[in-house]
Amino acid sequence: MDRRVFFAALGGGLVFTTSALRAQTAGPLDDLFALPGNVVGGTVGAGTDILGGTLGAGGDILGGDDHFRLTDLMGGEFSIETSKLALQRSRNSSVREFAQLEINEQLSVTAALGATPGSVPPRPDQAAMVGKLATLHGSRFDHAYIMGQIQGHQELLANNSQAISSDADAAIRRVATVSVPTIQAHLAILHRLRAGLASV
């Protein structure tokens, strides 16, 4: 499956179009992307500063707001680690497709924040959830994974929403503004996945 992500510039930010999301995840998740409007969410390209130019290794477009950056990186690493487990342990094709989508998304965000995957570990409670998931299989794994992703996405949504309305520098607000629609789109998908799992 071709998982290349096509970006379109819109209002100074980079956004996924509905068709790009569908092209990236064609398959059992198709109906989960039936969201209103033409723009479903957004992200920043791997290694690319959304303000223009590129980030070098260890670069930081977020200035002094370490809290925002650290919280996003910890949450992103949690999503990556649990989604890697989902690719190994889930037998549900929709869960696996979401997991790959999430990994791709978080790798892009991590790069945009000037970090590398694994450079910031998850919080202790998140690491404990990763450990718990590693002991589960089948439908028990799927339910726990989806619930963990919902909680993680809600935390990321709160962090990014707060940054938008804060007096943080423009780069932070830009990253947050681009991230919020994607997080909201992922939450909508996760809630539909949870409902589908509950009906099985």
pTM (whole model) above 0.75: no
Burial level of 164, CB count in 10 A (0-12/13-18/19+)? middle
Q: Which two tokens stand for residue 98?
A: 């979401």
In the chain, what percentage of residues exceed pLDDT 90?
52
Domains of the chain: 8-198 (1.20.1260.10)
**Which three-class secondary structure state does DSSP give residue 191?**
helix
| Whole-angstrom distance, CA of residue 167 vs CA of residue 25 | 36
Average pLDDT over residues 89-105: 96
pLDDT at 6 over 50: no
Q: Which two tokens stand for residue 163?
A: 């940054």
Q: State residue 161's pLDDT score.
A: 94
**Which three-class secondary structure state does DSSP give residue 87?**
helix
CB 191, CB 150: distance < 8 Å: yes
Backbone angles phi and psi of 72, in degrees to 5: -65, -40
Q: Which two tokens stand for residue 93?
A: 């094709």
Average pLDDT over residues 17-33: 39
Highest mean pLDDT among 25-29, 34-38, 57-61, 135-139: 135-139
